Amino acid sequence: MAVNPLNPSPVSLAPLPAGPLSARDVMRDAPVIPVIVLHDPAQAVPLARALVAGGIRMLEVTLRTPQALACIEAIAREVPEAVAGAGTVRSAADARAAAAAGARFMVSPGYTQAVGRAARDLGLALLPGVATGSEIMAAQDDGFAELKFFPALQAGGAAMLKAWQGPFGEVRFCPTGGVHAGNAAELLALQNVACVGGSWLTPADALASGDWARISRLAAEASALARG
Ligand code: 3PG
C-alpha cells in the first residue's frame, strides 16, 4: 500500500462508530495498537498523521513523560482522523487528566477498581492490564471483558493465551509487551486475541529524526497483518 504521511488518506478507513467508543471498537479497529512514548509535543501531530497514513488510528500515548498530555491534546485537536488514547493510566487522577486532554480510550498496565470506576464515570473505553487468572476475574467482576495482557511475552505469551481460552473463553485480549513484527502474526492468529500492542511502530530513532515515512511503512505493514 502506497502511503504519503503528508497526505494521509482517511477515506480508506471505515467510519468510526458515532458517540463514545467501546473497548471492542478500539481493539477491532486495526491489528495493532501502537504504544507511543513522546517527549516532544511537536512530534505528536506528524507522528499521528504518519500512523493514520499507514492505516493505524487508535493511538496509545503513554502517560510516562511530562509532555504526554500535551501530545494527546495536540492529536485530539489537530488530527481528527486519529483517535488519541492514553496509556499507562494508573489512577483515577490519570484517567481524569487523560479525558481532559481529549483521550477517547485508556489502557492501563494493571487493574484497580479505582481506574475501572473512573473510566465508567468518564464514559471512556478502558483496556485494563492483566497477567493472571485472578486479575482477569477481578476485571470481569467489574464488567471488563476486553483486556490487555501485559507484559505478554514475559508472562507466558501465546502459550498463556491458549491456556486462558478454556476458563476465560469469552475474554478478548490485546497482548502487549515484547510483541514485534516477527511474533505479532502468531499472537493474532489466536481466537482470543483481538489485536496486539507494541512500541515497534514508533522507533525512538525514527521519532528523533522525524522519519515519518518509515513510521508510515511500519504502520502499513502492521495494518495488513491477518487476524484469526
Ligand atoms: C509498554 O507498555 O511499554 C508496552 O508493553 C510496550 O512494550 P514493547 O516496547 O515491548 O512493545
Matching residue, cell 521519532: 207
> Residue 63 carries which side chain, given as an amino acid letter?
L
pLDDT reported for residue 108: 98
Catalytically annotated residues: 60, 148
Q: Are 51 and 216 in contact (CB under 8 A)?
A: yes
Judged against a pLDDT cut of 50, whether residue 208 lies above it is answered with yes
199 alpha carbon – ligand 1 mean position (Å): 6
pLDDT reported for residue 10: 42
Mean pLDDT of 57-66: 98
Cis peptide before 203 (omega within 30 of 0): no
Host H or E run for residue 131:
none
62 alpha carbon – ligand 1 mean position (Å): 10
What is the three-class DSSP state of 227? coil
Three cell numbers, residue 131: 497477567
123 alpha carbon – ligand 1 mean position (Å): 26
pLDDT reported for residue 87: 98
Judged against a pLDDT cut of 60, whether residue 9 lies above it is answered with no
CA 180, CA 65: separation in Å to the nearest integer?
23
Judged against a pLDDT cut of 60, whether residue 13 lies above it is answered with yes
CB atoms within 10 A of CB 179: 25
pLDDT reported for residue 48: 98
Q: Determine whether 132 is exposed, middle or buried from the number of CB atoms within 10 Å of its CB (0-12, 13-18, 19+).
A: exposed
Three cell numbers, residue 197: 500492542
CA 34, CA 9: separation in Å to the nearest integer?
19
pLDDT reported for residue 3: 46
Q: Across the chain, which distance is largest between two alpha carbons, in Å?
A: 47
Q: Are 125 and 21 in contact (CB under 8 A)?
A: yes
Model confidence at 37, pLDDT cuts 50, 70, 90, reads very high
pLDDT reported for residue 12: 66
Judged against a pLDDT cut of 50, whether residue 7 lies above it is answered with no
What is the three-class DSSP state of 58? strand
* CATH homologous superfamily of 2-6+21-223: Aldolase class I (3.20.20.70)
pLDDT reported for residue 11: 39
The pair phi, psi for residue 174, each rounded to 5°, is: -120, 90
Cβ within 8 Å of residue 15, ≥6 positions away: none
What is the average pLDDT score of the chain? 94
Pocket perturbation via mutation, ligand 1, pick of 90, 127, 173, 176 by most ligand atoms within 8 A of CB: 176
For ligand 1, atom 4, which residue shows the shortest CA distance?
177
Quick check: pTM over 0.85?
A: yes
Judged against a pLDDT cut of 80, whether residue 5 lies above it is answered with no
Mean pLDDT of 103-129: 98
Mean pLDDT of 176-200: 98
Host H or E run for residue 65:
none
